[in-house]
């Protein structure tokens, strides 16, 4: 009987080998991750230092150039420079106490500052507006903390009013930074955090 030709392939060789392709399963594509600031928090600390420097410089000018409670008109009839001292919290809250409030509010400011220093390293790098707000609050808190520890009171000098009809409590640069920073953080929480969590994976 004739023998099989040498060209005859075995059944195993005759099976076509299909190329292996990686198949993408819908819905499993990974979103980019949120990355913590880490060492990059330094740039936000520099913003805080800028606030502290501006706050302390303007307070020094006010304390050396202005007389206590003697208004200097800047924009009539809505803005004066008026030197004032605050022994309490915002709007002179607890200012008339026996002195314990100095250390109470200094302790609160210190605790808040330490929290913000740590939190800025953990805040998402992508949340730039949030980081700006936190840095402003940190700078303002430390600016007023320096006053409380150094002289036992906070120097205020920005006096917004309308003639002699309405007067807003006198404030300073640190107060502005804190208020603007809080507003920015609230805006981020209300309008940006949800979108960020949708776009990025925690």
Instruction: List the catalytic residue out of 55, 147, 164, 175.
Output: 175
DSSP sequence for 168-185: PPPB-HHHHHHHHHHHHH
Instruction: Tell me the mean pLDDT in the region 132-155.
Output: 95
Cα gap 109→146, rounded to integer Å: 10
φ and ψ at 65, to 5 degrees?
-105, -20
Instruction: Tell me the mean pLDDT in the region 54-80.
Output: 97
Of 94, 91, 95, nearest to 168 by C-alpha is 91
φ and ψ at 197, to 5 degrees?
-70, -30
Band of pLDDT at residue 201, cut at 50, 70 and 90: confident
Active site residue 55: no
Instruction: Tell me the mean pLDDT in the region 104-115.
Output: 91
Q: Cis omega before residue 111 (within 30°)? A: no
Whether the per-residue pLDDT at 7 is higher than 70: the answer is: no
90: alpha, beta or left? (left if phi > 0; alpha if psi -120 to 50): beta
Instruction: List the catalytic residue out of 13, 55, 147, 156.
Output: 156
Active site residue 156: yes
pTM: 0.81
* Cα three-residue angle 107-116-136, rounded to 5 degrees: 100
pLDDT value of position 154: 94
Whether the per-residue pLDDT at 160 is higher than 60: the answer is: yes
Instruction: Tell me the mean pLDDT in the region 116-127.
Output: 97
pLDDT value of position 1: 52
Whether the per-residue pLDDT at 173 is higher than 80: the answer is: yes
Whether the per-residue pLDDT at 14 is higher than 60: the answer is: no
Band of pLDDT at residue 137, cut at 50, 70 and 90: very high
Cα gap 56→64, rounded to integer Å: 12
pLDDT value of position 98: 53
Strands (E) located in 79-185 = 79-86, 154-162, 166-167
pLDDT value of position 202: 75
pLDDT value of position 22: 46
Tell me: the pLDDT tens digits for 15-47? Answer: 555 554 444 445 445 789 999 999 999 999 999
């Amino acid at each position: 009987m004739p023998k099989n030709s040498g060209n005859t392939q075995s059944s195993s060789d005759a099976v076509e080998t299909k190329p292996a392709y990686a198949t993408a399963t819908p819905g499993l594509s990974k979103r980019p991750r949120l990355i913590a600031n880490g060492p990059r928090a330094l740039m936000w600390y520099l913003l805080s230092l800028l606030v502290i420097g501006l706050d302390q410089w303007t307070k020094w000018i006010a304390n050396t150039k202005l007389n206590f409670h003697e208004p200097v008109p800047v924009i009539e009839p809505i803005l004066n420079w008026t030197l004032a001292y605050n022994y309490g919290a915002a709007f002179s809250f607890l200012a008339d106490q026996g002195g314990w409030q100095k250390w109470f509010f200094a302790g609160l400011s210190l605790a808040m500052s330490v929290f913000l220093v740590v939190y800025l390293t953990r805040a998402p790098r992508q949340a730039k507006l949030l980081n700006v707000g936190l840095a402003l609050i940190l700078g303002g808190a430390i600016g007023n903390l320096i006053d409380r520890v150094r002289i036992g009171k906070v120097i205020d000098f920005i006096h917004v009013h309308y003639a002699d009809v309405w007067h807003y409590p006198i404030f300073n640069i640190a107060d502005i930074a804190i208020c603007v920073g809080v507003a920015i953080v609230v805006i981020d929480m209300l309008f940006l955090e949800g979108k960020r969590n949708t776009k990025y994976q925690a």
